[in-house]
């Protein structure tokens, strides 16, 4: 699916994030599995990540992120009429985490649902929210991206535990007077689904006793380097823009080598690229909002800046969005 937006302007008017307190360094991981800081930094760029405690679930970090996003937008939970949580690690399958959040936030008139699209979930969710806002079905949406993948990792598997961390981010989306989303591109290729999967997590019977997330790192790496480039090119072309027009590039924070590859192939200046994978690892659906928040904290997301976001993940899925950032421009 690809499209340049033609309807009313819709933008992001509030942004908030939350990560668990507990920091796990590469040295901590080396005590659990046969790995070391040098290997992890060289192959991934990751130095540490946040890991939820046994008691913490997704909603425990999604709720503070949501509250921060609402406060940033200057609105209350009751002002939200659409609440989407993109995640593959909800508190439980039902009630949905979105319904839990709607209740906690007082969003009593919101349609609320969870959305599954692997690490690309946040990109899918903002595209859906855009459609409902532009059509007039919704007036103000809260879109949350977050995961606690630490809960579904095999903590004896060194090839996955080093990559992932927990975190959540939330955005308020509504009509804006200027700027806003210029377009979206979303895709899925189920032929690669077997390379990043979580058997035993749904209704398909799984014989194994090892019900954890599993990954073929090399295959996912090949896929990622390909789609990070092709998706970005597609959306830029669709919106009549070039890489030179991009002010801020927010790639999914999976692996510094994947980001470096995309930056080189696309010809985007490294200084325009947001990288925080070193401190959070891959937080799945939390990755892009956490990177947006860091870019904003660094003063890089001022009014009128053209921001390119591209995510990819299980499915296999990918998604890009192009947005002209609007500060304090809600209608």
Which tokens sit at 110? Answer: 């919101």
From the CB of 118, what's the least distance to ligand COA, in Å?
6
CA atoms within 13 A on the CB side of 27: 1
Residue 161 tokens, joined: 């535990």
Where are the extended beta strands (E) located within 6-163?
A: 10-18, 23-25, 48-50, 82-86, 111-115, 140-148
Distance CA 101, CA 77 (A): 9
Candidate list 68, 69, 119, 176; residue touching ligand COA; CB under 6 A = 119
Whether omega for the bond prior to residue 95 falls within 30 degrees of 0, making it cis, is yes
Q: List, in order, residues 6 or more apart from 229 with CB less than 8 Å away.
A: 261, 262, 265, 266
Residue window 242-281: x/- pattern of binding to ligand COA, with contact defined by CB under 6 A? ------------xx--------------------------
Q: What are phi and psi of 170, to 5 degrees?
A: -140, 145
Under the binding rule (CB under 6 A), the answer on residue 224 touching ligand COA is yes
Check residue 44 for interaction with ligand COA (CB under 6 A): yes
Least distance to ligand COA, CB of residue 319, Å? 12
Which residue in the set 47, 67, 151, 158 belongs to the binding site for ligand COA (CB under 6 A)?
158
Q: Give the binding range for ligand COA (CB under 6 A) out of 37-45, 67-75, 86-94, 200-208.
A: 37-45
| Of residues 56-115, those binding ligand COA (CB under 6 A) | none
Among 122, 184, 221, 280, binds ligand COA (CB under 6 A): 221
For the CB of residue 288, give the shortest distance to ligand COA in the complex, in Å: 11
Quote the CA–CA distance of 253 and 263 in Å, as a whole number: 13
252 catalytic per annotation: yes
Peptide bond into 316 cis (omega under 30): yes
Strand, helix or coil for residue 22: coil
Catalytic position from the list 18, 119, 195, 239: 119
Q: Does 47 bind ligand COA (CB under 6 A)?
A: no
Q: Is 119 a catalytic residue?
A: yes
Binding site for ligand COA (CB under 6 A): 35, 39, 43-44, 119, 158-159, 162-163, 215, 217-218, 220-221, 224, 254-255, 282, 312-313
Q: Catalytic residue numbers?
A: 119, 252, 282
């Amino acid at each position: 699916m690809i499209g340049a937006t033609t309807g009313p302007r819709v933008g992001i008017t509030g942004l908030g994030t939350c990560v668990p307190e507990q920091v796990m360094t590469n040295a901590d991981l080396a005590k659990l599995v046969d790995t070391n800081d040098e290997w992890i930094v060289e192959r991934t760029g990751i130095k540490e990540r946040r890991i939820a405690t046994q008691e913490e679930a997704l909603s425990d970090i999604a709720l503070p992120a949501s509250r921060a996003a609402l406060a940033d937008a200057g609105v209350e939970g009751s002002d939200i009429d659409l609440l989407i949580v993109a995640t593959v690690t909800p508190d439980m399958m039902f009630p949905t985490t979105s319904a839990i959040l709607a209740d906690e936030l007082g969003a009593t008139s919101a349609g609320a649902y969870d959305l599954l699209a692997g690490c690309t979930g946040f990109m899918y969710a903002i595209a859906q929210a855009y459609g409902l806002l532009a059509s007039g079905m919704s007036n103000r949406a809260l879109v949350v991206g977050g995961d606690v993948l630490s809960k579904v990792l095999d903590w004896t598997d060194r090839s996955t535990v080093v990559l992932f961390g927990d975190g959540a981010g939330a955005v308020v989306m509504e009509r804006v007077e200027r700027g806003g989303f210029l377009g979206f591109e979303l895709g899925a290729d189920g032929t690669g689904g077997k390379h990043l999967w979580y058997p035993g997590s749904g209704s398909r019977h799984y014989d194994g006793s090892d019900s954890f997330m599993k990954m073929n790192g090399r295959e996912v790496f090949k896929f990622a380097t390909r789609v990070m480039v092709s998706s970005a090119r597609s959306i830029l072309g669709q919106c009549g823009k070039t890489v030179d027009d991009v002010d801020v590039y927010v790639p999914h924070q999976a692996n510094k080598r994947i980001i470096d590859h995309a930056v080189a192939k696309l010809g985007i200046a490294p200084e325009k690229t947001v990288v925080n994978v070193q401190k959070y690892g891959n937080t799945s659906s939390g990755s892009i909002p956490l990177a947006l928040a860091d870019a904003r904290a660094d003063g890089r997301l001022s009014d009128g800046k053209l921001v390119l976001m591209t995510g990819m993940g299980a499915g296999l899925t990918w998604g890009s969005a192009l947005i002209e950032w609007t500060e304090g421009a809600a209608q």
